[in-house]
Structure 1
Amino acid sequence: MDVTDKLVINGSGSSKGGRFHTVEINGSGTVSGDVECTSLLFNGSGKTDGNVKTQTLTISGSGKISGSAEAESIRINGTGVIKGDVKTERLNVAGFSSFGGGVKADDIFISGKVGIEGDCETETFRSEGKCKIGGLLNADEVSMKLAAGESHVKEIGCRHLKVMSRKSVLTRFKLMPAPVLTAELIEGDIIDLADTNAQTVRGKTVRIGAGCIIETVEYSGDFTCDPSASVNKVVKI
């Protein structure tokens, strides 16, 4: 397959997929088929109908990828939709993103809003926004600063988890919903929670902070609980 230096789509144009050095979609353009390139940039409201393989993927406007995406780094500043699986070293979401499959990465940082239908596997997961993960979040280090409203992860498996919340003046006066993390199962070596609702929390060292509602805590080392938290059952294992 021939390699074209650069593909630029302005306006509502369209192009076939292929191999390129760079791809830039500035309008509502469409690329039909798979794309392989060194960089893919969405500035408008473009879309690709196939799979994407690139070194850098940047969505500054609104971008939709109907297939899977593989990149060294992915940055979403606008609205990004990737229907398939995502594989990357670094994922940074400052806007809104929706992933229809699973996500595998080395480092994930969220300051916007993210929805992941499948599992999420990464070394480090840092969130200062809102996230919803339909499967398992499997990571070494997880740090979550909860924004207003609900973040939901079906299951969390990690070495170290710290959940904090950022309660603004609007939250205190009930003008915005309170921040909360909901989960079915949280499992790790060191677990430090605040404003978390979970069915089961299992770990070596477990700290249940203010605002938590936990059905069952299972721990093998140390356990502490804030007086304002609600824990129905505590089991030393």
Structure 2
Amino acid sequence: MEKHKLPDLLMDGVNTAAGGRYNQVNINGVSRINGALSAHTCKCDGVMKLNGDLAAEEIEMNGNLNLKGNLKVGVMKLNGVLSGEGGLRGERCEMDGMLKLKGNCEVEELIGEGVFHVGGLLSAGVIEFGLHGLSEAGEIGVESLVIRKKGNAAWGRLLGGMVPKFKIGLQAKVIEGDTLDLEYTNAEVVRGGTVIIGEGCTIGRVEYTGELTVHPGAHVGKEEKR
């Protein structure tokens, strides 16, 4: 993308625009964009509804993004809620909020806290995430995964209407990775090299090739060293 030859898209207040290719997209307020959007940088303070795919090298979202298509990004900073009908592919996602995707999520790094719902596969090199509600994915495949419980009163007020009973935990059918360090996780199968099953976990079967540590407060149905 030759960003110096592309126009900018600047929107303030309540506006509607067509999709297209831009250098910078800067939105303050409430916007609706009809059609696919690609940009070098995309920053939104407010609410953005996009009827199509979104591709950007850098995204900073402070508010609410509703995406009808797929998201492709280099680096994304999310402070708020991102809801997508498709999937996400990117290098790094830093978040403090909620990520909801019906498709897959494939990133090199997912760092932050809040809640995520991934309908398909969550694939990453590194995930370090603090749970403030009930998060879930169909399957999780990583090199390194660290899950911690981080719930607090402020998040309870924010997510109380969106997360039933504000339960804190991670649910997945299968979690697989080289290094896994879990808390408050419910999974049918956990498979890895070095595995730590921490407090609040309920795991059907753990398969490991290196070392396994199980917290006294966790429940593991079957342990199998390979």
Could you tell me the TM-score, scaled by structure 2's length?
0.90
**Higher alpha-carbon deviation: 130-139 or 161-170:** 161-170
Partner of 1:11: none
1:154-169 equivalences in 2 (<5 Å) = 154-168=138-152
Matched, 1:216 2:205: yes
**What secondary structure sits across from 1:210 in the alignment?**
coil
Quick one: which of 172, 180, 185 aligns to 1:191? 180
Partner of 2:17: 31
Partner of 1:13: none
Deviation of 1:178 (Å):
4.2
For 1:20 and 1:169, locate their aligned partners in 2 and report how far apart those are by CA, in whole Å.
Answer: 45
Q: Is the 8 A contact 1:66 1:83 kept in 2?
A: yes
Q: Is the 8 A contact 1:167 1:178 kept in 2?
A: no
For 2:65 and 2:150, locate their aligned partners in 1 and report how far apart those are by CA, in whole Å.
Answer: 25
For 2:7 and 2:107, locate their aligned partners in 1 and report how far apart those are by CA, in whole Å.
Answer: 28
Higher helix share: 2
Deviation of 1:27 (Å):
2.4
Quick one: which of 106, 120, 126 aligns to 1:141? 126
Q: In the comparison of the two structures, how many residue pairs are matched?
A: 215
Partner of 2:170: 181
Partner of 2:94: 109
Report % sequence identity. 33
**What secondary structure sits across from 2:209 in the alignment?**
strand
The verdict on how the C-alpha distance between 1:65 and 1:169 changes in structure 2, with shifts beyond 3 A counting, is closer
For 2:189 and 2:33, locate their aligned partners in 1 and report how far apart those are by CA, in whole Å.
Answer: 41
Letter aligned with residue 220 of structure 2: V
Deviation beyond 2 Å, 4+ runs, structure 1: 167-171, 175-178
Higher strand share: 2
Superposed CA offset, 1:59-78 (max 9, x none): 21111111101101111101
For 2:176 and 2:86, locate their aligned partners in 1 and report how far apart those are by CA, in whole Å.
Answer: 23
For 2:209 and 2:113, locate their aligned partners in 1 and report how far apart those are by CA, in whole Å.
Answer: 30
The verdict on how the C-alpha distance between 1:65 and 1:167 changes in structure 2, with shifts beyond 3 A counting, is closer
Letter aligned with residue 136 of structure 1: L
Question: 5+ residue gaps in structure 2?
Answer: none
For 2:31 and 2:154, locate their aligned partners in 1 and report how far apart those are by CA, in whole Å.
Answer: 36
Could you tell me the TM-score, scaled by structure 1's length?
0.86
Letter aligned with residue 149 of structure 2: S
Deviation of 1:170 (Å):
8.9
Letter aligned with residue 115 of structure 2: K
1:1-237 equivalences in 2 (<5 Å) = 20-32=6-18, 34-147=19-132, 149-168=133-152, 177-237=166-226
